[in-house]
Chains A and B, each alone.
Chain A
Amino acid sequence: MAQVGDRSPAAKLGLLDATMVGMGAMIGAGIFVLTGLAADIAGPAALLVFALNGVVTAFTGVSYAELASAIPKSGGGYVFVREVFSGPTSFLMGWMLAFAYMIAGALYALGFSSNFVEFVHLYWAGLPTGPVWHIVYALVVVGLFALLNAVSTEASGGAETVVTIIKIIILLVFAGFGAFAVEGGNLEPFFPGNRASVSLVQAMGLTFIAFEGYDLIATVTEEVENPRENIPKAIFISLVATVAIYLVVVWVAIGTLGADKLGRAGETGIAEAATSFMPTIPLLGEGAALIVFGAVFSTVSALNAVVIASSRVVFAMGRENQLPNPLGQISATFGTPLAAVVASAAVMLVSVLLLPIEQVGRVSSLFFLVSFVVVNWSVIRLRRQRPNMTRPFEMPLYPYIPLLGIALNLVLAYFLLRDDPFTLVLGLGWVAIGGAVYAVLEWRRPRPEPAEA
């Protein structure tokens, strides 16, 4: 008797699924966790913060689209950079990108626990709360999703589409009811204080992570149908739709609660705004419960997305032998990249334990900004190195788009770091650890095996 497999292979993703991969990762963390923070810094101009961030990130989106359509490999930014740059640069890119996803996971987990406490308290006041408990809930949820992804590939399939559509509906319900409760006075003065432009750019850097996620589409390209057409489309549609949803939600949140109150509410800002205007809904009780539920749900699904994303980058680096061998192997027992998932989750758990939520957001934004600089640079370098490469999606206005992408990402990174040496130290610390890992791996590298297909 021969051995027959019984595990289903991953399903094919259509345009809708691919778009939802991007939107699912973007919507969730940023909007629920960071709207309060943005309002705290920039006042009602938080609206402008989200709009401008959308524009900045669109440049990098175009670069991702060109690379993803021409390089038929899953694995996202790291894989493209690996194609274009030498060993150390591509290692550093993977190292930073994986960490950006991991630490974004920590942010989503912490955002989850605040909103989770809020949600449970609507029905049962007995749930223990306090800083220590928040960290405990965050650790549990990271552990849970790491486990889920370690033992099954199901979590990465088309189920994400349904989850994301539910998230979008909840936000639209919020916007729909809220639009009638907006008080124009809350949006004035639009620019608070006299250092408006600086605070604007600072808030952009802090909330940049809310626009990270469309790049995840590039990590699943090989599973997408008709990829050369659908991937660029999915990247653009998910970006535009997400920015539109953000603008409506931020407008409602500021318009109903006012920037000051929203700022004080921090990572539960959206839920607090909902409490002020949502009507009673049958079964759920208070209408705000739906929004708080949405926040819990969204942070969880965004967390799932980055657990997958970070482990895929780690796995890709393992396959390229840029990280130790076991990280690039799938588990014989589960058929999943088990070691890569465990390694990613471990870094997430440590980040949850050691870093305050604001710091987590900053470090993650910083690494996304820096790695997006490298992605834009890859487009330019690839055009020069391989002018004759077939580019099914060839960006217009080359080289202005990637150059602008590089410049704008660097400006945001500069303002993010300017008043915050701790983030700089953390970032450099992680890069230094990476340098050491790279040096050790190079030094211990075994001689390559003879080619054998």
Chain B
Amino acid sequence: MPAHGKDLRIIIVGGGEVGFRTAQLLDERGHDLVIIESDPERCQKIADAYVATVIEGDATLPDIFQQAGPETANVVAALSDDTLANLAVCMIAQRLNPDLHTVMRTDAETGEAHAELVDSVIYPQRASALLAVNAVLSGDVRSLEHAMGVLDIAEVRIGADAPAAGKRLTEISFPKGCLVVSDVDGSSIAGADTVLEPGHRYIVAAEPEVVQELMRLLRG
């Protein structure tokens, strides 16, 4: 049975660059994270960053994977650089908890081959390539998903019973360092009188320190 908390509980397998950075971003948004990583030195480094509980070991061993608490988790993201291991982890996860949302990192040769077996497939090399295209063209417009920097620019759906739902922007006390840019229709830039309608999507920008608070206001 999945956790009933307001924040998601996410298991990340592989604490390399991709897994660790993913964990950092999710932690900034206030979610609970467990990372499974086999390299002891890497484990210490992740523990130092204080973004996730760390389990040391091979996640494809059910004995190790169990320790991350799949029965109370909402999502498992297998992000190691070993595609077969990632697939194995997703299969084990689904077996242990059929409600788990599974995310699998894949590589160039495998591509979308496993898309049917898991909920989402990601391919970091392709994302990097898109980023490289952005940089090479150095245009004035950059796609949101690939913005670098520290600012988190995101599209947020307002939660039905979130504190900010149904309120005008002026009525809400936002922390310093965040900005509601627009509603997603693109029809207008947000103003003081913009109302945050529950269920609708808005583009927001925030500095890392206040992302969690902003999400709590907008998502509940």
Q: Chain A residues in contact with chain B, CB under 8 A?
A: 1-9, 69-73, 83, 221-222, 226-228, 319-321, 325, 328-335, 385-390, 392, 445, 448, 451-453
Given A7-B176, A320-B5; A389-B53 close (CB under 8 Å): yes
- CB under 8 Å from chain A, chain B span 48-62: 48, 50-57
- CB under 8 Å from chain A, chain B span 168-209: 169-182, 189-192, 194, 209
Pairwise interchain contact A1-B176, C-beta atoms closer than 8 A? no
Given A72-B50, A390-B43, A453-B31; A5-B175 close (CB under 8 Å): yes
Contact partner, B56, options A222, A325, A388, Cβ 8 Å = A388
Cα separation A331 to B173 with both chains bound (whole Å): 8
**Which residues of chain B have C-beta atoms less than 8 A from A453's C-beta?**
8, 26, 29, 31, 75
Pairwise interchain contact B48-A392, C-beta atoms closer than 8 A? yes
Q: Does B128 contact A (CB under 8 A)?
A: no
- CB under 8 Å from chain A, chain B span 7-64: 7-8, 26-27, 29, 31-32, 43-44, 46-48, 50-57, 64
Pairwise interchain contact B64-A390, C-beta atoms closer than 8 A? no
Select the residue from B27, B54, B194 with max chain A CB neighbours within 10 A.
B54
Pairwise interchain contact A2-B67, C-beta atoms closer than 8 A? no
Contact partner, B47, options A228, A325, A386, Cβ 8 Å = A228
Pairwise interchain contact B54-A330, C-beta atoms closer than 8 A? no
Nearest CB in chain B: distance from A12 CB, A = 9
Cα separation A130 to B148 with both chains bound (whole Å): 65
Q: Does B4 contact A (CB under 8 A)?
A: yes
**Which residues of chain B have C-beta atoms less than 8 A from A387's C-beta?**
67
Pairwise interchain contact A8-B176, C-beta atoms closer than 8 A? yes
Top 10 A-B pairs ranked by shortest CB distance?
A5-B174, A390-B54, A3-B169, A332-B163, A386-B67, A72-B50, A321-B4, A320-B5, A388-B57, A390-B43
Pairwise interchain contact B175-A448, C-beta atoms closer than 8 A? no
Contact partner, B174, options A4, A321, A331, A448, Cβ 8 Å = A4
Q: Does B93 contact A (CB under 8 A)?
A: no
Residue of B nearest to A69 (CB): B47
Residue of B nearest to A1 (CB): B191
**Which residues of chain B have C-beta atoms less than 8 A from A335's C-beta?**
173-175, 213, 217
Pairwise interchain contact A3-B192, C-beta atoms closer than 8 A? yes
**Which residues of chain B have C-beta atoms less than 8 A from A4's C-beta?**
174, 178-179
Q: Does B6 contact A (CB under 8 A)?
A: yes
Residue of A nearest to B38 (CB): A388
Q: Given A386-B67, A389-B53, A453-B31, list of 7 further CB < 8 A pairs?
A: A3-B190, A7-B174, A9-B210, A70-B54, A335-B217, A448-B4, A453-B75
Pairwise interchain contact B174-A6, C-beta atoms closer than 8 A? yes
Q: Would you list 21 pairs from A and B whose C-beta atoms are within 8 A, ordered by A residue?
A: A3-B190, A3-B194, A5-B210, A7-B174, A221-B50, A227-B50, A228-B47, A320-B4, A328-B6, A330-B213, A332-B173, A332-B217, A333-B172, A335-B217, A388-B55, A388-B57, A392-B44, A445-B4, A448-B2, A448-B4, A451-B101
**Which residues of chain A have C-beta atoms less than 8 A from B112's C-beta?**
none
Q: Does B82 contact A (CB under 8 A)?
A: no
Given A72-B50, A389-B55, A390-B55; A3-B180 close (CB under 8 Å): yes
**Chain A contact surface mostly:** loop
Q: Does B220 contact A (CB under 8 A)?
A: yes
Residue of B nearest to A331 (CB): B163
Contact partner, B48, options A1, A228, A328, A445, Cβ 8 Å = A228
Pairwise interchain contact A3-B170, C-beta atoms closer than 8 A? yes
Contact partner, B213, options A9, A321, A333, Cβ 8 Å = A9
**Which residues of chain B have C-beta atoms less than 8 A from A1's C-beta?**
189, 191-192
Residue of A nearest to B49 (CB): A72
Nearest CB in chain B: distance from A320 CB, A = 4
**Which residues of chain B have C-beta atoms less than 8 A from A334's C-beta?**
173
Contact partner, B179, options A2, A320, A329, Cβ 8 Å = A2
Pairwise interchain contact A452-B67, C-beta atoms closer than 8 A? no
Residue of B nearest to A445 (CB): B4
Residue of A nearest to B182 (CB): A2
Pairwise interchain contact A9-B209, C-beta atoms closer than 8 A? yes
Residue of B nearest to A4 (CB): B179
**Which residues of chain A have C-beta atoms less than 8 A from B130's C-beta?**
none
**Which residues of chain B have C-beta atoms less than 8 A from A320's C-beta?**
3-6
Residue of A nearest to B157 (CB): A452
Q: Does B79 contact A (CB under 8 A)?
A: no
Pairwise interchain contact B169-A70, C-beta atoms closer than 8 A? no
Cα separation A331 to B213 with both chains bound (whole Å): 11
Residue of A nearest to B166 (CB): A332
Pairwise interchain contact A7-B175, C-beta atoms closer than 8 A? yes
Residue of A nearest to B119 (CB): A451
Contact partner, B177, options A9, A325, A328, Cβ 8 Å = A9
Given A386-B55, A390-B54, A453-B29; A329-B220 close (CB under 8 Å): yes
Residue of B nearest to A385 (CB): B67
Cα separation A8 to B43 with both chains bound (whole Å): 33
**Which residues of chain A have C-beta atoms less than 8 A from B48's C-beta?**
226, 228, 392
